[in-house]
């Protein structure tokens, strides 16, 4: 098997020691160079942040809060250590949320991802991510440049022109969304155009259904997925094993219970939280809002880093009930008041057209006194009346949901 570098197969203990050393230095750097972390990490000794336990005690920075943070301290919410005028590019993602690009060739660490997808020095890559506003296309550009690949900036839309460019230039591979790749291949078939040079693809931005992968494979195109965000860049990537997504080497990834910063056991679904070592835009315990789970064991491809199961939904399950917003953090507050309960899940329905909420609690043995106490906590925290139902340990679904809305209108 072929690897991008020796880091991918190193001993997990060696990797963990390296990440913990970097963590302490990144916390110190963030406190010294950014307004946001100077405030939020006040009182934190950076060089005591050298373990997973210490990391779990640091506050989360939630992606959903960036819009308000950036309004209060434009343009980057005080999270940037690189001044705006020194940035190579500035982007706007939906929200709007603004991000900057520093001076590195591949600040988003995409070269490793492209290599795992089969791209090599000298390849021509047809890039169909957007070059407009968002950093999507530039994430791939940076990785391609570092890998030694040329790029055709196809962008989005204009399907017939995309096909013609592929016919003329004969690219080795494609990067973009899987759905657009399928549209291009279908259009080439309609036109009788030969785009057979296209043998590999690295896709992101949306789910890759198994039926789409199979359809593309049948037409000679090997497809690998990448999990990336505009703020962070590459988080995890698929390899030839096609068993989960291997976490990128230069990141610290945690899976935490939605509404809390508490790490969950391996295999349990929770929110993806990432700490980066980007010196220009340090993000510490950045809560992405995405749900996933860590797969047990090691990838058959030989890479030794942890693997994510893949994108499994959104963690922000804020729900309006009887005109009041109820947040996952409130359920976490109730859980903290009753530590004898293992897990909680608020289920909202509307029998007869009236909103009803039932707090399901995992516990070995419930009782009337606990029922009344939890009902009282539920009302005090949410300002709404609700019921409580007890379930045996393991009785609640393992899907990361803290609030489940099953109302029918």
Smallest CA-to-CA distance from 378 within 402, 342, 346 is with 346
Q: Does pLDDT of 166 surpass 90? A: yes
- Could you count the other beta carbons within 10 Å of the beta carbon of residue 379? 12
Banded model confidence at residue 95, pLDDT cuts 50, 70, 90:
confident
- In 3-state terms, what secondary structure has residue 405? strand
Q: Are 131 and 155 in contact (CB under 8 A)?
A: yes
Helix (H, G, I), strand (E, B) or coil at 349: strand
Neighbours of 399 (CB within 10 A): 13
Q: Are the C-beta atoms of residues 341 and 361 closer than 8 Å to each other?
A: yes
Report yes or no: 140 and 202 within 8 Å, Cβ to Cβ. yes
Specify whether the backbone of 149 is left (phi greater than 0), alpha (psi in -120 to 50) or beta. beta
Residue 1 has pLDDT above 90, yes or no: no
pLDDT range class, residue 322, cuts 50, 70, 90: confident
The CB density around residue 126, as the number of other CB atoms within 10 Å, is: 25
* pLDDT interval class at 58 (50, 70, 90): very high
Looking at residue 242, what is its pLDDT? Answer: 95
What confidence tier does 48 reach under pLDDT thresholds 50, 70, 90?
A: very high
Nearest-5° Cα angle at 333, 343 to 61:
100
For residue 47, the tally of other CB atoms under 10 A from its CB is 12
Neighbours of 131 (CB within 10 A): 16
- Could you tell me the pLDDT band of residue 148, with boundaries at 50, 70 and 90? very high
Assign 408 a pLDDT band (cuts: 50, 70, 90): confident
Residue 93: partners with Cβ closer than 8 Å, 6 or more residues away:
99, 133, 134, 135, 230, 231
Q: What is the pLDDT of residue 397?
A: 93
d(CA 296, CA 298): 7
Q: Got the DSSP string for 170-208?
A: --SEEEE-HHHHHHHHHHHHHHT---TT--EEEE-SS--
Q: Give the pLDDT score at 6.
A: 97
What structural domains and CATH numbers belong to the chain?
Answer: 6-308 (3.40.50.12780), 319-405 (3.30.300.30)
Asked if 383 contacts 327 with a C-beta cutoff of 8 angstroms, the reply is no
User: Partners of 226 in the beta sheet?
Assistant: 237
Q: Furthest-apart CA pair in the chain: how many Å?
A: 75
Beta-bridged to residue 347, according to DSSP, are 358, 404
Residues near 129 by beta carbon (within 8 Å), at least 6 away in sequence: 136, 137, 139, 140, 155, 156, 175, 176, 177, 204, 205
Give the separation between CA 195 and CA 124, rounded to whole angstroms. 13
Alpha carbon distance 212, 73 (integer Å):
43
């Amino acid at each position: 098997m072929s690897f991008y570098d020796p880091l991918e197969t190193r001993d997990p203990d060696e990797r963990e020691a390296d990440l913990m050393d970097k963590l302490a230095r990144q916390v110190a750097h963030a406190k010294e160079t950014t307004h946001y972390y100077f405030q939020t990490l006040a009182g934190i000794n950076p060089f005591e942040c050298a373990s997973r336990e210490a990391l779990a005690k640091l506050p989360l920075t939630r992606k959903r809060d960036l819009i308000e943070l950036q309004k209060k301290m434009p343009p980057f919410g005080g999270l940037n250590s690189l001044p705006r005028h020194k940035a190579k590019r500035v982007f706007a993602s939906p929200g709007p949320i603004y991000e900057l690009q520093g001076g590195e060739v591949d600040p988003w660490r995409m070269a490793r991802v492209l290599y795992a997808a089969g791209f090599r020095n000298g390849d021509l890559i047809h890039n169909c991510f957007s070059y407009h506003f968002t950093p999507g296309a530039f994430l791939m550009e940076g990785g391609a440049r570092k890998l030694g690949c040329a790029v055709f900036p196809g962008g989005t839309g204009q399907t017939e022109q995309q096909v013609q460019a592929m016919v003329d230039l004969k690219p080795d591979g494609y990067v973009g969304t899987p759905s657009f790749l399928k549209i291009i291949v279908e259009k080439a078939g309609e036109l009788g155009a030969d785009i057979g040079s296209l043998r590999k693809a690295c896709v992101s931005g949306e789910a890759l259904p198994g039926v789409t992968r199979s359809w593309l494979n049948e037409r000679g195109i090997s497809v690998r997925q990448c999990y990336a965000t505009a703020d962070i860049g590459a988080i995890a990537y698929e390899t030839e094993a096609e068993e989960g997504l291997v976490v990128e080497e230069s990141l610290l990834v945690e899976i935490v219970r939605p509404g809390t910063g508490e790490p969950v056991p391996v295999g349990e679904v929770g929110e993806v939280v990432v700490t980066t070592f980007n010196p220009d835009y340090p993000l510490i315990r950045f809560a992405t809002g995405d749900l996933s789970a860590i797969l047990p064991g090691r990838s058959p491809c030989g890479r030794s880093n942890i693997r994510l199961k893949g994108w499994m939904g959104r963690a922000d399950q804020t729900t309006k009930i009887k005109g009041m917003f109820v947040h996952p953090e409130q359920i976490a507050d109730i859980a903290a008041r009753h530590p004898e309960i293992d897990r909680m899940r608020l289920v909202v329905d509307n029998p007869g057209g009236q909103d009803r909420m039932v707090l399901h609690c995992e516990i070995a043995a419930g009782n009337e006194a606990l029922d009344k106490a939890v009902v009282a906590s539920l009302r005090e925290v949410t300002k709404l009346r609700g019921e409580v139902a007890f379930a045996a340990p393991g009785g609640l679904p393992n899907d990361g949901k803290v609030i489940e809305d099953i109302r029918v209108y």
